[in-house]
Amino acid sequence: AQSVAQPEDQVNVAEGNPLTVKCTYSVSGNPYLFWYVQYPNRGLQFLLKYITGDNLVKGSYGFEAEFNKSQTSFHLKKPSALVSDSALYFCAVRDYSGTYKYIFGTGTRLKVLA
Amino acid sequence: EAQVTQNPRYLITVTGKKLTVTCSQNMNHEYMSWYRQDPGLGLRQIYYSMNVEVTDKGDVPEGYKVSRKEKRNFPLILESPSPNQTSLYFCASSSAAQGDGYTFGSGTRLTVV
């Protein structure tokens, strides 16, 4: 069965430092992987996706994610964190085997400290 | 502007009083879905629809109904709400094309007393 795991409930990082939010996945076919961000009192917004091609994917707001097939990981990264990056981040995988269903991780709260 | 519109944003109701949360998208998307978000549980899918008149249960469908009579609309119906349905609800849509991400609505915060 398809699944997504975000092992950290919360990640704290100092402003200006690099950040990583971890995600691992389990899929039976080719993985279609996504990151979404949720700011307080807002819906989720699409950040970036991996479909095929380069393992380093660039997205919105300076975020990027690294796809690692051997480790079945899709970690979200940013070279220099901003206080405004503080939000809830969700990793997701989409199942194209028939239901087109998205499976979401439980979310990681990122707190960037000034 | 491409968007998913949910209404209402906030709703307080009493146990047993039927309610409908509306969801509409203007992107001609085939796929629409409802989620509830609860602390520590992430997003859980309630129902989804792959096209008009095609709906199916997600992970937590009990106590909810949906319909998809038109491509743009996907209302969520709670026939007899209970306090354990107090939650933050999101509607989302996407095309069926491989690699297409979701567009989410702004959410409906429902409180059942």
A41 neighbourhood in chain B, CB within 8 Å:
107
Condensed to tens digits (0 to 9), the pLDDT of residues A36-74 reads 999 988 889 999 999 888 899 999 999 999 999 999 999
In the predicted structure, residue A101 carries a pLDDT above the cut 80: no
In the predicted structure, residue B97 carries a pLDDT above the cut 80: no
Tokens of A62: 């300076």
Condensed to tens digits (0 to 9), the pLDDT of residues A64-91 reads 999 999 999 999 999 999 999 999 999 9
In angstroms, the Cα distances linking A7 to A36, A85, B9, B14, B56 are 16, 19, 31, 37, 30
Q: How far apart (Å, rounded) are the C-alpha atoms in residues A31 and A109?
A: 24
Kindly report the nearest CA distance between residue B81 and chain A, in angstroms. 23
Question: What is the mean predicted confidence (pLDDT) over A4-12?
Answer: 96
Nearest to B4 by CA among B38, B35, B39, B46: B35
Report the 3 state secondary structure along B74-102. Answer: CCEEECCCCHHHCEEEEEEEECCCCCCCC
Average pLDDT over chain B, rounded to an integer? 94
Question: What is the mean predicted confidence (pLDDT) over B73-83?
Answer: 97
Kindly report the nearest CA distance between residue B88 and chain A, in angstroms. 10
pLDDT band, very low/low/confident/very high, at B99 (cuts 50, 70, 90) = confident
In the predicted structure, residue A98 carries a pLDDT above the cut 70: no
- Residues within 8 A of B (CB atoms), A 1-60 only: 32, 34, 36, 41-46, 49, 51
pLDDT band, very low/low/confident/very high, at A97 (cuts 50, 70, 90) = low
What is the model's pLDDT at position B2? Answer: 85
Q: CB distance from A61 to chain B under 8 Å? A: no
| Least confident span in A20-29, A51-60, A99-108, B80-89 | A99-108
* Partner-chain contact B42 A45, CB within 8 Å: no
Condensed to tens digits (0 to 9), the pLDDT of residues A26-38 reads 887 778 899 999 9
SS3 A48: strand
B94 neighbourhood in chain A, CB within 8 Å:
100
Condensed to tens digits (0 to 9), the pLDDT of residues B25-58 reads 999 999 999 999 998 888 999 999 989 999 999 9
* Partner-chain contact B105 A101, CB within 8 Å: no
pLDDT band, very low/low/confident/very high, at B77 (cuts 50, 70, 90) = very high
